[in-house]
Structure 1
Amino acid sequence: MEPRQVKTAADARRIVQERGLRHVKVGVHDVDGVLRGKYLHVDKFSAALDGGMGFCDVVLGWDSNDQLYDNVTYTGWHTAYPDATVRILPETCREIATEPGNLLFLCEFADKAEEICPRGILRRVLAKAQSMGFEVRVGFEYEFFVFAETAFSIREKGYRNLKPISPGFFGYSMLRNSVLSDWYRDLLDLCETMDMGIEGLHTETGAGVLEAALRVRDGLGAADAAALFKLYTKVLAQKRDWLATFMAKWSKDWPGCGGHMHMSLWQSGKSAFFDEAGPQRMSETMRHFVGGQRALMPELLAMVASNVNSYRRLVPGFWAPTAASWGVENRTTSLRVIPGSAKSTRVEYRVAAADANPYLALAAAVGAGLWGVENKVDPGAPVTGNAYEMEHPAETQLPRTLMEAAGRLEGSRAARSLFGDSFVDHYSATREWEEREFRKAITEWELDRYMEII
C-alpha cells in the first residue's frame, strides 16, 4: 500500500504492518505553525487511531521559543498544563523522504482545544465554504533564503556576515540552478515523495534566495503541504550543513520573503470566479470575494503577518503592500486578480509573508472572501499603476505593528463570527505577548546609535 492510498484507520494499520515498522512519527501544528511531535510505538499508534491520545496542551500555551504565555486563559499554570486530546488523521499519511521507509501522520487537537487548533480553524472555514456550495482550490508560493551555514554557526556569528549559497542578485538564474542542480533535484524529489509537489522552483532576486510554487490542490491539503514544505526544506538543508529560513525579512539589504496564496472557488466542477462577460472576466462571486478580502484585511492582518518581523517587510517599494488594495495583474497591490481561462482565473493574496502559519493565513484569506460573498461586498475600482505611490483611504491602511494588528483582530466582530471567540481571544493574546517579548530586547541598532553618542 502507498501512503497516498491511506484514508482510514484500518488503512493506517495496514501500511504500518506491511512495512514492519516499530515506530512512526506523529505531529500537530502549534499556533505559530511549528510542527510539534514525537516518535510513537506502533501499538500506541494503533490504539490512538480509534480513541485519540494525550498531548501536553503547553503546545498551545507557549511561543516559538518555548516561553510560556502569561496572558491566555485556555492553559497555563492556573490549569497545570494537562494533556489535551489529539486525533490522528490517517489521510495525512506521508513517506518521510529523509527517513526512508518511515511514515508521518499529522494530528489535530480535539475537544475544547479544537476551538483554537490552527488546522481546526481552517477546516471549519472550508466547511463554511462547502455549506455555501464552494470548493476552495489553493496554491502556495514561498520565497526563502538558504545559507551555507549551520544552526550553530549563525549563532556563533551573531547572525552577521552570513554566507548565502550563491552571491548577488540573479533572479531566474539558469547558472545558479545548474551549478546547484543537486540541491534543486533533492528538494524537488523530496517534495514529490512527501506529496507536496512543486510546480515551479527558481532563484529569486537576492543572494541565496529561492521561490517555490506548490501545486494547486484543495484548501486543507494545500495548507498541509505548505506547512510540511517549510519544515522539510529546513530539514533537507540542515542535513547538508546548510540553513534555510522563511523569516519575513532577515536583512535590511535584501528583499523580504513572501508567502503568497493563489486561490479560487469552484462549484460543481466549474470556476465560480470566471465570467467571460464580466469586467476583467470576473464573476460577481469573485468581485464579492475580493471585496471581502479587501475590507477585512486590516482586521485580520495578525493572522497573515503574525510576527514582529513580518512588519519589517510591509514597507513601500519592497514588493509588499501597505494598504488593503486590489488590482488586475498588479504586483504593487495586496490582492492581485489574475484573469485568464476558466481554469486559471484566481486571486493572489500578496500581503502574506513566508513566516505565516499557513493554516491561519489561509483561514483568514478564505474566511474574509466568504464573508464578502455573503454580504455582497463591492471591492471598488481596481488600482492601476503603482499602488505604493497612491494615497489610500484611512480605513484601508494596514496596521504598522503586530501589537496594533492584534488589537484590530481582538476587536473584530467579523473575526469572531468567522473563527469563534475562543480563538480570537487566545490568538490575539499570543500576538500581544510576542510584541511584548520583542520590546524587552535591546537591539544592535539601539546600541550602535545611542550608547556612545547620547
Structure 2
Amino acid sequence: MQPADVKTLEDAKAIVEDRHATQVKVGAFDIDGVLRGKYMSRGKFLSALEHGFGFCDVVFGWDSNDQLYDNIEFTGWHTAYPDAWARIVPDSCREIPSEGNTLFFLCEFTGRTESICPRGLLRRVLKRAESLGFKVFAGCEFEFFMFQETPQSVREKNYRELKTITPGFFGYSVLRNSVMGEFYNDFMTYCQDLDMAMEGFHTETGPGVLEAALDVDEALRAADKAALFKTFTKVYAERRGMMATFMAKWSPDYPGQSGHIHLSLQKPDGSSAFYDEGDTPHHLSETMRHFIGGQQALMPEFLAMIACTVNSYTRLVPGAWAPTAASWGIENRTCALRAIPGPPKSQRVEYRISAADINPYIALAASLASGLWGIENHIEPDSPIEGNAYEMTFAPERQLPATLTEAAARLRHSKVARDNFGDAFVEHYAATREWEEREFRKAITDWEMQRYFEII
C-alpha cells in the first residue's frame, strides 16, 4: 500500500501494519503556521487513530518563539495548560524521504480547541462554500530566499552579511537553474514524494530567491500542501547545509517575498462558477464579480489574517512590488486582487496581498470567506484598475491597516469576521497578533541605533 491509497482509518492502520512501522511521525499546525508534532510508537499511533490523543494546549498558548502569551483567555497558567484533544487525519498520510520513508500524518484539534484550530477554521469556511453549492480549488505560490548558512552561522553573524546561494538579480534564469540543475531536480522530486508537488519552479528577482507554484487542488488539500511545503523546504535545505526563509521581507535592499493564493469555484456539475459563456467582459461571471467585491470590501477588516507578522507590513509600502490598498484589476499585478481570465478551468482570482509568511489555512480561510460573503450579499467591486495601482489614490474604505496592531483591532471589531470565524477564533487570534507587535516594540533596531546613538 502507498500513502496516496490511504483514505480511511482502516487504511491508515493497514499501511502501518503492512510496513511493520515501529514509529510514526504526527504533527499539527499552530496559529503561526508552525508545525508542532512528535514521534509515536506503533501502539500509541494505532490507539490514537481509534480514539484521538491528548496534545498539550500550550501550542496555542505561546508564540513562534515559545514565549507564553499574557493576554489570552483560551489557555494559560489560569487553565494550567491541559491537553487539547486531537485526531489523526488518515488521508494526509505521507512518507518523509529524508527519514527512510518514515510515515507522517497530519492532525487537527477537536472539541473545544477546534474553534481556534487553523485547519478546523478552513474546514468550517469550506462547509459554507459547500452549502452554497461550490467546490473550492486553490493553489499557493511562494517566493523564498535560500542561503549558504546554517541555524548556527546566522546567529553567529547576528543575521548580517548572509551568503545567498546565488548572487545578483536574475529572474527566470535558465543559466542559474541549469548550473544548479541537480539541486532543482532533486528538490522537485523531494516535493513530489511528499505530495506537495510544484507545477512551476524558477528563480525570482534577487540573490538566491526562488519561486515555487504548487499544484492546484481542492482547497483543504491545497492548504495542507502549502503549510507542509514551508516546513519541509526548510528541512530539505538545513539537511544540506543551507537555509530557507519565508519572511515577508528579510532585507530592505530586495523585494519582499510573496505568498499569493489562487482561488476558483466549481459548480455541482463540475463547470466553473467564475466563467460566463456569454458576452460579459473577459467572461467574468456575476459570481466571480461578487466574489471579488467581497474580497475587496473585507480585505482591510481581515488583513491581520493575511499579513500576520510585524514583518509583513514592511512589504506593504509603495514601490515594494506589493499592493498598498484593496484594489483589483484584470491581469494587473499592481493590484491586491488580480482577476485572471482564460478558459473555464483556468479562470480564477489571485489574492496578491499575501506574503510568504502566511499561515496557509488562515489566509485561505480569510480570502475565501470574504469572497463567499460577497456572493451571498451581491457585493459589486469598484471598476477594475487600469495602469499602475501603486500611483493611485484610493477611498478611505479601501486603505489597509498600516500595522499589525491596527489590523488586529480591525479584525476584533469586525462583525463579519465574528459571523464567519466565530468569537473564539477572532478573540484568540487578534490577541496573539497584538502580543506579536508588543514583543516587537521591546526591540532596539539597527535603524534606531544608527539614527539616535550619537546624534540625539
Alpha-carbon distance, 1:32 to partner: 0.2
Structure 2 residue runs without a partner (length 5+): none
Task: Compute the displacement of 1:134 (Å).
Answer: 0.1
**What SS is found at the alignment partner of 1:55?**
strand
Matches of 2:129 and 2:445, distance apart in 1: 44
In structure 1, the residue matched to 2:180 is: 180
Matching residue of 1:136: 136
Residue of structure 2 equivalent to 1:13: 13
Match of 2:48 in 1: 48
- Equivalent runs, 1:182-261 vs 2, <5 Å: 182-261=182-261
Give the superposition deviation at 1:384.
0.5
The aligned residue for residue 150 of structure 1 is: 150
1:67 alignment partner AA: Q
- Cross-structure match for 1:170: 170
Q: Distance in 1 between matches of 2:153 and 2:202?
A: 26
| Alignment partner, residue 310 of structure 1 | 312
Whole-angstrom CA distance in 2 between matches of 1:418 and 1:279: 31
Q: Which of 354, 357, 363 pairs up with 2:356?
A: 354
Pick aligned residue for 1:299 from 298, 301, 306: 301
Offset of residue 367 of structure 1: 0.3
Q: After superposition, where does 1:243-392 map in structure 2 within 5 Å? A: 243-267=243-267, 268-276=269-277, 277-392=279-394
Answer whether contact 1:167 1:208 (CA < 8 A) is retained: yes
The Cα shift of 1:100 comes to 2.2
Cα deviation per residue 1:291-345 (whole Å; 9 max; x = unaligned)?
0000000000000100000000001121100100000000000000000110110
Query: Which runs of 5 or more residues in structure 1 are unaligned?
Result: none
2: CA distance, partners of 1:40 / 1:310: 36
**1:183 match: secondary structure:** helix
Aligned to 1:24: 24
With normalisation by structure 2, the TM-score equals 0.99
**Deviations for 1:172-196, whole angstroms, at most 9, x for unmatched residues?**
0011111111211121001110111
Distance 2:109 2:57 in 1: 9
Query: In the alignment, does 2:58 pair up with 1:58?
Result: yes
Q: Which amino acid aligns with 2:34?
A: V
- State the distance in 1 between where 2:145 and 2:242 align: 10
Q: Is contact 1:73–1:426 with CA below 8 Å preserved after alignment?
A: yes
Matched with 1:417 is 419
- Counterpart of 2:67 in structure 1 is 67
Q: Deviations over 1:333-370 (max 9, x none)?
A: 00000001101100000000000100000000000000
Deviation track 1:265-290 (CA, whole Å, cap 9, x = no partner) reads: 00121000001322221000000000
Structure 1 runs of 4+ with >4 Å offset: none
Partner of 2:438, secondary structure, is helix
Alpha-carbon distance in structure 1 between the residues aligned to 2:330 and 2:199: 23
How far the C-alpha of 1:103 sits from its partner, in A, is: 0.7
Deviation track 1:52-86 (CA, whole Å, cap 9, x = no partner) reads: 00000000110000000001000000000000000
Tell me the secondary structure at the aligned position of residue 270 of structure 1.
coil
Q: For 1:433, which of 422, 429, 435 is the aligned residue?
A: 435
C-alpha distance in 2, partners of 1:230/1:394? 35
Find the aligned partners of 1:278 and 1:52 in 2 and give their Cα distance: 51
Question: Residue 280 of structure 1 aligns to a residue in which SS?
Answer: helix
**Residue aligning to 1:114:** 114
Q: Does the 8 Å contact 1:19/1:101 carry over to 2?
A: no
Q: Deviations over 1:171-223 (max 9, x none)?
A: 00011111111211121001110111100000000000000000100000000
Amino acid at match of 2:105: F
Whole-Å Cα distance in 2 between the matches of residues 5 and 44 of structure 1?
22
Q: Secondary structure at the match of 1:290?
A: helix
- Please give the secondary structure, in 1, of the residue aligned with 2:262: strand
C-alpha displacement of 1:399: 0.5
Report the Cα distance in structure 1 between the residues aligned to 2:103 and 2:384, rounded to whole angstroms.
47
Question: Aligned-pair distance for 1:156?
Answer: 0.4
Aligned pair 1:405/2:428, yes or no?
Answer: no
Distance 1:101 1:404 in 2: 45
CA distance in 1, matches of 2:263, 2:63: 29
Distance of 2:227 and 2:23 partners within structure 1 = 22
- The letter of the residue matching 2:411 is L
- SS at 1:108's partner residue? strand
Give the drift of 1:8. 1.0
Looking at structure 2, the residues matched to 279 and 412 of structure 1 have their Cα atoms a distance apart, in angstroms, of: 33
How far is the alpha carbon of 1:107 from its aligned partner? 0.4
* Partner Cα separation in structure 2 for residue 257 and residue 273 of structure 1: 28
Distance 1:319 1:101 in 2: 40
Structure 2 residue identity aligned to 1:259: G
1:158 alignment partner, SS class? coil
